[in-house]
Structure 1
Amino acid sequence: MRILIFGINYSPELTGIGKYTGEMGAWFAAQGHDVAVVTAKPYYPEWKIHQAYKGTGWTTEKIAGVTVYRVPLYVPKRVTAKKRILHEFSFLAGVSPKWFGLLLKKRYDIVINITPPFHLGFFAASYAKLRGAKLITHIQDLQVDAAKELGMINNKKALDLLFKAEKYLLDKSHAVSSISLGMKKKILAKGVPESKYVMFPNWVDEDVIKPLTREDSLRNEWGIPMEDRVVLYSGNLGEKQGLEIIINAAERFRDRPNVHFIICGSGGARDRLKDMADRAGLRQVQFYPLQPYEKLPALLATADVHLVLQKKSASDLVMPSKLTGILAAGGCAIVSAVPGTSLHDIMYMHQLGILIEPESAEALATGLQQALNEDLTPFRERARQYAERFLSKDQLLKEFERHLVKLTTYEKQT
C-alpha cells in the first residue's frame, strides 16, 4: 500500500504523539509499504525546534524508510491558549503548499490523519476526496472536548462551530480510531457508527522495554544508593498539569533522605517546579532532562514507584502514553484517575497499581506511604503480564494494518 500520514508530531521526538506516529510509519515501511509523512520540524516536548532543524524551510528527509516532508511552523517560547492556536494555524499554513504538491504526485491508497490538531483533517480529507484515497482519522486526544472541559474555550458559538467542523471530518472519514475506551464512548456519541470505529491503543515494544535490575538502572550514574527508594515522574512538565503536588508531597518526606524524588523532562513548568523545590530546601528532589529512548529501560528500572498524574477533567480523554512503558518495565505506578473513567477501570480491574484522587497532594502522599511500605512484587508482575497481553507493538500494528487492508481491498503478497 501507499500510505500518506498527516501529523504535527513525528520522529525524532522522544515522547508523546510524535513517538507513536514515528514508530507506526517506520513499522509500515518495514512491512514493505510506501510511506510518506507531512509533519512539522521536531519541537516537542521542549517547545523548541531541534537544533538540527533550525533555520530550515520546507525540507524532505528519509527516516527508517519513510519519506518525511517537514514544514515550518511557529513555536512559542511560552505556551498559552492563544499562542497554541497560532502555533497550530502556522503549521496548517506550512502544510498548504506541500499539500498542493502532493496532489500532483502518484496517488496514495490510504491517508491517515493524526489528531490533534483536528483541523489538520481538512487537508487529509480534501486529499482523500480529490485522489480517491481512503481516509482514517486517528484520535490521540479529543482536542475540542478537552478545550471545553479544561475551560480553555468558553464561547458557546465558537465551541458549536468547532464541534460541527469536527463532525464533518468524522463523517468524511472511512474509519475512525482512538486509543482508549473512554474516547470510544465519546466518539460513538458524536454519531460515528460502531462499524467505522477501530480501537488502536498506544503500544510498547516489550522486547526493548522490559524489567531490569537496579544494577542495570541509572542509580550508579546519578549517585543514588541501591538500597534507597526512588519516586519517578518522567514526561512533559506542562503548566496546566498540576505537577506542584509532587513537590508538596515530597515535603511530607523531608525527614526521609533515603527517599528520592526524580523529575525527568522539560516543559513550561520545569523552572517553576525546580524553584519550588529549591525554596523549600528539598534536596532529595532532583531534576534531569528527558532521557533518550535507548536509556528508557534503565530509567524505568531506577524507580521503585512511578507517578502518572492526570487532571480530573482529562483522565477519561487521554490514556497516558508513559503508562505503557511503565507497565512493560514491570513498574508499580501511582495513578490519579476519577472512578468510572477508562484509566481508573483498567488500573482497578487488572490491579496494576495504586489509584488516588487527582489533584490532591494529600492523596499522593498517602499513596506514596502505601507504596513505600509494602511489597510491590505482585503489582510489578501483573504490570508486565498486562503489557505482554494487551500492549504489544507488533500485535497492535498488525491488527491496524489488517483494517487498512480491508479498507483498500489490497491483498498483501506473502
Structure 2
Amino acid sequence: MRILLVGINYAPDLIGVAKYNTELCESLVDEGHEVRVITAPPYYPAWKIPHGFGASYFRATGINGVRVTRTPIYVPAQPSGGKRLVHHASFALSSMLPVVKEALSWRPDIMLSVAPSLMSAALVSFVARRIGAQSWLHVQDFEVDAAFDLGLLQNEKLRTVMLKTEAAILRSFDRVSSISPQMVDRLRGKGLDAERITEVRNWIDTAAIYPASRQTTYRQELGIPDTAIVGLYSGTMSNKQGLDLAIDAAAALEERRPDIHFILAGEGPHKSKLIEMAAGRSRVHFLGLQPAESFNELMATADFHLIPQKAEAADLVLPSKLGAVLASGRPVIAMASQGTGLAAEVEGAGLVIPPGDTPALAAAIESLSKDPALCEKLGAEGRRRSVERWDRRTIVRRWIEDMAALKVPKPALSPTPVSIPVKDVVPQP
C-alpha cells in the first residue's frame, strides 16, 4: 500500500503524538509499504524550532525509509488559546500545496490525517475523494473540547461554530479512529456511525521498557538516597497535566515524610512556573527530556509513577505515557474520575484518586510508600497489562489489517508515479 500521513508532529520530536506518528510510519515501511509524510518542523514540547530546520522547508528528506516533507509553521513561545489557533491554522495553510502535490503525483491508496491538527484534516479528506483514495482520521486529542473545557478558549459562539466544523470534518472521512474505548464513545456522541469508527490505541515497546533495578544513576546524580521513596512524572509539562498538584503534595509531605522525593522530567510551557512553585523544596527534582537509550533507567528509578491529570481533561485524551508506566512494572497514582478511560486502565495496577484533590494525592503517596508488597503486586499487574494491551507489534498489525480492509482500487486512469530515492538522513539542528 501507499500511505500518505499528514500530521503536525513527527521525529525528531521525542514524545507525544510525534512518537506514535513516527513509529507507525517506520513500522509500515518495515512491513513493505510505501509511506510519505507531510509535517511541521520539530518544536514540541519546548515550543521552539531548533536551529537549522528552516532551510529544509518543502524539501523531501528520508528518515528510516519514510519520505518526510516539512512545511513552515508559526510556533508561539507562550501558547495561549488564540495563539494555538493561529499555530494550527499556519500548518493547515502551509501544508496545502505539498498535500495536493503528493496526492496527484504519487496517488496514495490511503490518506491518513492525525489530530492534532484537525484544521489540516479537511483538505485531506477532500483531496482523497478527488483521487480515489480512502481517507482516515486518527484522533489523538479532542482539540476543540480541550480548548474550551480547559479554559484556553471561552467564547461560546466560537465554540458552537468550531464544534459544527469539527462534526463536518469527522463525517467527511471514510474511517475515524481513536485511542481508547471512551474516546471512541465520544466520537459516536459527535454523530459518527458506529461502522466507520474503530479503536486503535497507542503502544509501547515492551522489550525496551521493562522492570529493572530502582538503584540507578539518576538517584546518584540527583543526590537521592538509596533508601528514599521516589515518585516520578515523565512527559509534557503543560496546563492540562495538573503538575502543580504534585508540588502541592510534596509540600504537604515535606515535614512528616522527608524520605519521599519527586522527579518531574520533561519540557513544556508550564515548566518554568512549576520550577518557581518548587523553589526551596530540596526533594523536588527537575529533569529535561531524557534520551531514548536511558528512558528505561529513568522509569526504573521510580517507586511509583504520577499522572495528576486535571478533571477538565477527563477522556479528552488517554495519556500516552501510561503504556510506558505500566510496562515499567511500577504502580501508578492517577487522578481520574470513576468511569473515565484513565480510571479503567489504572484500576488494579495502581491507585485512582479524585482529580484536583491534593490531600488524596498525598495520602495515596503515603499509602504506597508504606506497603512495598502492594507496590509489587500492582506493578506486576501493570506489566502484564502492558504486554497484553499495549504491545507495539500487535497494535501495528491491527493498523495494517484495518488499512488493508479499507483500501479499494484506484480509478483506472492513474498517472504512473515517479520513484524518488530517499536517503536515511535528517537535518541536524
TM-score (normalizing by structure 2): 0.91
Query: How do 1:326-405 and structure 2 match up within 5 A?
Result: 326-348=325-347, 351-375=348-372, 376-405=375-404
In structure 1, the partner of 2:225 is: 225
Aligned partner letter, 1:390: R
Instruction: Look up the SS of the partner of 1:268 in the other structure.
Output: coil
Contact kept, 8 Å, 1:209 with 1:297, in 2: the verdict is: yes
How far is 1:153 from its partner? 3.4
Query: How do 1:5-84 and structure 2 match up within 5 A?
Result: 5-54=5-54, 56-84=56-84
In structure 2, distance between residues paired with 1:215 and 1:249:
24
How far is 1:226 from its partner? 2.2
How far is 1:332 from its partner? 0.9
How far is 1:216 from its partner? 5.0
Query: Residues 76 and 28 from structure 1, CA distance in 2 versus in 1: closer, same or farther, beyond 3 angstroms?
Result: same
Contact kept, 8 Å, 1:217 with 1:301, in 2: the verdict is: no
In structure 1, distance between residues paired with 2:112 and 2:243:
33
Q: Using the TM superposition, name which of 156-165 and 173-182 deviates more.
A: 156-165
For residues 330-375 of structure 1, the C-alpha deviation after alignment (integer angstroms, 9 at most, x for no partner) is: 1211100011212112322xx0101111112211111111111112
Structure 2: tracts of 5 or more residues without a match: 410-429
How far is 1:103 from its partner? 3.6
User: How large is the RMSD of aligned CA atoms in angstroms?
Assistant: 1.6
In structure 2, distance between residues paired with 1:35 and 1:358:
40
Structure 1: tracts of 5 or more residues without a match: none
Aligned partner letter, 1:269: H
In structure 1, the partner of 2:184 is: 184
In structure 2, the partner of 1:207 is: 207
Aligned partner letter, 1:357: P
For residues 285-337 of structure 1, the C-alpha deviation after alignment (integer angstroms, 9 at most, x for no partner) is: 11111111221101000001110111112121211111110101112111000
Task: State the aligned residue count.
Answer: 406
Q: Using the TM superposition, name which of 264-273 and 22-31 deviates more.
A: 264-273
In structure 1, the partner of 2:419 is: none
Instruction: Look up the SS of the partner of 2:111 in the other structure.
Output: strand
How far is 1:208 from its partner? 0.8
In structure 2, the partner of 1:282 is: 281
How far is 1:104 from its partner? 3.4
In structure 2, distance between residues paired with 1:394 and 1:216:
29
In structure 2, the partner of 1:266 is: 267
Aligned partner letter, 1:263: L
In structure 1, distance between residues paired with 2:55 and 2:358:
43
Aligned partner letter, 1:312: A
Query: Residues 274 and 102 from structure 1, CA distance in 2 versus in 1: closer, same or farther, beyond 3 angstroms?
Result: same
In structure 2, distance between residues paired with 1:35 and 1:103:
12
How far is 1:97 from its partner? 2.1
For residues 7-46 of structure 1, the C-alpha deviation after alignment (integer angstroms, 9 at most, x for no partner) is: 0001111111111111101100111100001000011011
In structure 1, the partner of 2:128 is: 128
Contact kept, 8 Å, 2:246 with 2:308, in 1: the verdict is: no
Aligned partner letter, 1:292: P
Instruction: Look up the SS of the partner of 2:201 in the other structure.
Output: coil
Instruction: Look up the SS of the partner of 2:165 in the other structure.
Output: helix
Instruction: Look up the SS of the partner of 2:198 in the other structure.
Output: strand
In structure 1, distance between residues paired with 2:121 and 2:367:
45
In structure 2, distance between residues paired with 1:352 and 1:360:
20
In structure 2, the partner of 1:94 is: 94
How far is 1:70 from its partner? 0.6
How far is 1:52 from its partner? 4.0
How far is 1:55 from its partner? 5.2
Query: Residues 333 and 312 from structure 1, CA distance in 2 versus in 1: closer, same or farther, beyond 3 angstroms?
Result: same
In structure 1, distance between residues paired with 2:356 and 2:249:
11
For residues 129-178 of structure 1, the C-alpha deviation after alignment (integer angstroms, 9 at most, x for no partner) is: 11110001100011122223223334343223222222222222111100
In structure 2, distance between residues paired with 1:394 and 1:402:
12
In structure 2, the partner of 1:110 is: 110
How far is 1:196 from its partner? 1.2
Query: Residues 55 and 176 from structure 1, CA distance in 2 versus in 1: closer, same or farther, beyond 3 angstroms?
Result: same
For residues 161-198 of structure 1, the C-alpha deviation after alignment (integer angstroms, 9 at most, x for no partner) is: 22222222222211110001111111112221211111
TM-score (normalizing by structure 1): 0.94
In structure 2, the partner of 1:319 is: 318
How far is 1:211 from its partner? 1.0
How far is 1:93 from its partner? 2.0
Aligned partner letter, 1:383: G
In structure 1, distance between residues paired with 2:79 and 2:38:
23
